[in-house]
């Protein structure tokens, strides 16, 4: 089974996708838009306020504690945003199957305010076929949109037909720090699952419990099958880990037994 590409190759692929996505922006500074997007990696996103589809007040901090995937949409878009959201729904479903249903959260933010209100976002979600209890569609206050876009490195321009914008997903870590940007209307599944696996493995590594150890082993043994286009558990890795642990335990037991034997007298 082919291993995941090294981080440097994945980063190169994502930057290539970013360049291609940026060319879709009908503006002279598309390259600058990619630079703005990359510049926010490693920086915390502000604790912005939103209204969800049920008209409840929520804050970005409410989503901390687990990795968060963030997309930007506008509900009057009839082509790119719906297609991108539908593709994301398939990618999220595959990621949940690989990493666990409750392992990460998703939000889509309507940036065309005041038109992307909670009711418009609810209708958009229904039309896109999104039925995921851990995926919310959020409306920010109109005055907050510029600062919100800056925090996420999201560039958009009003046009006579709507908006041109860099199509990007932002992966945020459990502490609210921007970890990775993913570009394009579609992308290879490892570009989303890879960063999420890294974040989840780091969280499990910081915990001392049987559940955390099991989570880390399961994440390590989840591999991408490019032929099938999905992730699966590689049970041979479980066997190798168990065999290695058994041998190590046997060696330690033998050494302990040897140290307790009384010395032989000649």
Distance CA 50, CA 138 (A): 6
Q: Comparing 12-16, 147-151, 166-170, which segment has the lowest mean pLDDT?
A: 12-16
Q: Looking at residues 33-57, what average pLDDT do you find?
A: 95
pLDDT at 216: 52
pLDDT at 226: 65
Distance CA 202, CA 147 (A): 29
pLDDT at 20: 47
Cβ contacts of residue 152 below 8 Å, gap of 6+? 40, 45, 70, 72, 170, 178
Computed over every residue of the chain, the mean pLDDT equals: 79
Compare 261 and 32 and report the one with higher pLDDT: 32
CATH (one of 3.40.50.10860, 3.40.50.2020, 3.40.30.10, 3.50.50.60) for 7-189:
3.40.30.10
Question: Model confidence at 253, in pLDDT bands (50, 70, 90)?
Answer: low
Strands 156-159 and 162-165, how do they pair? Answer: antiparallel
Which among 147, 128, 3 is positioned nearest to 53, based on CA atoms?
A: 128
Q: Is the pLDDT of residue 143 over 50?
A: yes
Q: Looking at residues 44-52, what average pLDDT do you find?
A: 96
């Amino acid at each position: 089974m082919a291993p995941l590409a090294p981080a440097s190759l994945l980063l190169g692929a994502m930057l290539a996708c970013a360049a291609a996505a940026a060319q879709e922006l009908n503006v002279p500074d598309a390259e600058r838009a990619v630079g703005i997007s990359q510049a926010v990696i490693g920086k915390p996103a502000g604790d912005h306020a939103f209204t969800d589809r049920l008209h409840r007040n929520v804050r970005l901090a409410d989503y901390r504690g687990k990795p968060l995937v963030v997309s930007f949409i506008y509900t009057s878009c009839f082509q790119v945003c719906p297609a991108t959201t539908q593709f994301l729904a398939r990618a999220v479903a595959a990621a949940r199957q690989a990493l666990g249903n409750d392992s990460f959260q998703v939000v889509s933010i309507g940036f065309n305010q005041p038109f992307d209100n909670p009711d418009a976002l609810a209708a958009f979600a229904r039309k896109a076929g999104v039925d995921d209890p851990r995926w919310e569609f959020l409306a920010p206050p109109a005055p907050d949109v510029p600062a919100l876009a800056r925090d996420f490195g999201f560039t958009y321009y009003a046009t006579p037909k709507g908006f041109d914008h860099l199509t990007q997903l932002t992966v945020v870590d459990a502490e609210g720090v921007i970890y990775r940007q993913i570009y394009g209307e579609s992308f290879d599944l490892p570009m989303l699952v890879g960063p999420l696996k890294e974040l989840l493995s780091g969280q499990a590594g910081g915990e001392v419990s049987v559940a955390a150890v099991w989570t880390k082993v399961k994440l390590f043994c989840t591999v991408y099958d490019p032929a099938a286009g999905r992730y699966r558990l590689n049970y041979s890795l479980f066997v190798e880990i168990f065999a290695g642990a058994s041998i190590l335990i046997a060696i330690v037991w033998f050494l302990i037994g040897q140290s307790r034997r009384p010395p032989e007298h000649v």
